[in-house]
Amino acid sequence: MERPFPTVAVVGLGTMGAGVAVALARSGRRVIGVEAGPTQALRALDRIEASTARAVERGRLEAGERAALLALIEVGDDLTAAAQADLVVEEVPEDLELKRALFAELDRICPPETVLATGTTALSVTRIAAATARPERVLGVHFFNPVHTMRLVEVVRTVLTSAQAAEQVAELARDLGKEPVAAGDRAGFIANGLLFAYLNQAAAMFESRYATREDIDAAMRLGCGLPMGPLALLDLIGIDTARTVLEAMYAQSGDRLHAPAPVLGQLVAAGLLGRKSGRGFYAYEAPGSSKVVAEERSDVQPRAAGREVRSIGVCGSGTMATGIVEVFAKAGLPVLLAARSQEKAERAKAQLARSLERSVARGRLSEQDRDAALALVTPTGSYRDLAEVDLVVEAVAEDLAVKRELFAALDEAVKPGAVLATTTSSLPVVSCATATSRPRDVVGMHFFNPAPAMKLVEVVSTVLTAEDATATVLELCAKVRKHPVECGDRAGFIVNALLFPYLNDAVRMLQEHYATVDDIDTAMKLGCGYPMGPFELLDVVGLDVSLTIEQVLHQEFREPGLAAAPLLEHLVAAGCLGRKTGRGFRDHARR
């Protein structure tokens, strides 16, 4: 099969356009670069020569390969040169009228069979195509920056784009060593459509002072395994760019979750655009630098000292409870493992022993440390045995009635002044607190599963929690080598409040037949560096769990955009819950 598009014109040779030009030339194609004027053309050629020279220095390119690819690239300022190309890729600034005018001119200049592709990330491909007399040969081709390392290419079809043109561009992407995914024409396409809504909610969370920028970013890195926190990522992308994309998304969807958070507009108006300006959500050493510098803050108040914790109680017998016991015992803290019966408590300790044995087998724990940890754990079938512990962690079923009943029992059994912590991930902490006569001693301590491996703990204070109770949990987290992030008592805390709307948006995207499960998962892994695609993650978490959390978020915030996607509800009703049932968004063989 003949390789598609032996000659390609790239109009606009900024960072992205230059990267595309080099990738095309590296594949052996002739590249015609077009810039707005002679000065810009010379700068673009310098940019291409400098980037390829760096590639040689870093061993990504041989000197001979560099010479060969540079020989395939010609750069000028005459748009009529694009008439020689089989494909034209446009990479000019994100301005709809500028792009429409350019495409109208390209339509006049280029032969009828030439395919015209826009590199827009946020604008309507359909409206750009409408400026031509060949809308069937116009489409979007969205490369990701930096082009030489990012494998994803979104191939965007309008309702008029021919299947042949789309497949030819997808084949070109594969020939460049890229992974093409098919997307329909809506703002943000797949990757940015899901990413920017999540970034916007993180910005709004920061703006409301619900959590600090550092805690929001740490929560998403450590709780979800993301390569960067959302606010640091906004600084990297450029806050002005993010706001432009969100404005385009909101114009198309009308969803208030896409309306740019006011803080984004304020930062843009102040010229605080992120790394490129030297300051955004964070301050940087210099414009363009990635090194964050500490800022002096006058609003930081001295923190109260925590209470002494010499012994701990953990209530529950499931995987989360035994994981938390393991965390404390490994840190050298005596633990009372309390369950509803002595038999359940003994079984839970046996489960703990098996987990520790696996750590020994994998070389993560010595036999001596295993034995020391087990010796610190005492199983009990009575909550009254918790009378003298300094802190109790509840890790029972995610059922408010069950938790309130347990907290009422702990209120009677445990000594005054002990801290009572709940591991709830979706229920109001204050509801547990008000089941006791000491709500000031109750705090949220949300571990992530598996507790021994996950570094994050969300520390949740209610409006009634005493400062020294919160301080106690923060100090305990440091002692057991967990990273605590602080937040208030509202649905989803930090991680779930940002994660599950993103997952719900992915389900809506599928439900609307906008893209396939595979393409959505691929886009988020390759385009955003996520460890798992949204559907892979939904199947692991459980569709029923995801639906419950989404319903809690919707009920609390009353935001229409947070309503659970009907497809998610239907799958749960049909018993398709993910890996645990062997069927979810992806089929899973029963093990």
How confident is the model over 218-235, as pLDDT tens digits? 999 999 999 999 999 999
Average pLDDT over residues 12-39: 95
> Per-residue pLDDT tens for 331-343?
999 999 999 999 9
What's the rounded Cα separation, in Å, for the pair 167 and 162? 9
What's the rounded Cα separation, in Å, for the pair 381 and 315? 10
Q: What percent of the chain has pLDDT over 90?
A: 90
pLDDT higher than threshold 80 for residue 298:
no
What's the rounded Cα separation, in Å, for the pair 45 and 84? 20
Burial (CB count <10 Å: 0-12, 13-18, 19+), residue 483: middle
What's the rounded Cα separation, in Å, for the pair 381 and 417? 23
Largest CA distance in the chain: 86
What's the rounded Cα separation, in Å, for the pair 249 and 189? 10
pLDDT higher than threshold 70 for residue 553:
yes
Average pLDDT over residues 266-277: 96
Task: State how far Cα 292 lies from the chain centre.
Answer: 21
pLDDT of residue 299: 61
**What are the structural domains of the chain?**
7-184 (3.40.50.720), 191-290 (1.10.1040.10), 312-488 (3.40.50.720), 495-573 (1.10.1040.10)
Amino acid at 498: L
pLDDT of residue 591: 39
What's the rounded Cα separation, in Å, for the pair 553 and 7? 51
Radius of gyration of the chain (CA): 28
pLDDT higher than threshold 90 for residue 265:
yes
pLDDT of residue 586: 79
Q: Which of 187, 176, 148 is nearest to 87 (CA)?
A: 176
Tell me the pTM. 0.91
**Contact assessment for residue 458 and residue 211, using Cβ atoms and an 8 Å cutoff:** no
pLDDT higher than threshold 60 for residue 512:
yes
> Per-residue pLDDT tens for 202-216?
999 999 999 999 999
pLDDT of residue 188: 87
> Per-residue pLDDT tens for 180-197?
999 999 888 999 999 999
> Per-residue pLDDT tens for 137-196?
999 999 998 999 999 999 999 999 999 999 999 999 999 999 999 999 988 899 999 999
Residue with tokens 């909610």: 201
pLDDT of residue 555: 94
| pLDDT mean across residues, the chain | 94
Average pLDDT over residues 375-381: 97
Average pLDDT over residues 360-384: 95
Is residue 292 within a helix (H) or strand (E), and if so which, with residue range? Answer: strand 292-293
pLDDT of residue 259: 95
Q: Which of 56, 193, 229, 254 is nearest to 502 (CA)?
A: 193
> Per-residue pLDDT tens for 74-104?
999 999 999 999 999 999 998 999 999 999 9
pLDDT of residue 297: 65
pLDDT higher than threshold 80 for residue 300:
no
Average pLDDT over residues 51-63: 92
pLDDT higher than threshold 80 for residue 417:
yes
**Contact assessment for residue 226 and residue 220, using Cβ atoms and an 8 Å cutoff:** yes
pLDDT band per the 50, 70, 90 thresholds, residue 589? very low
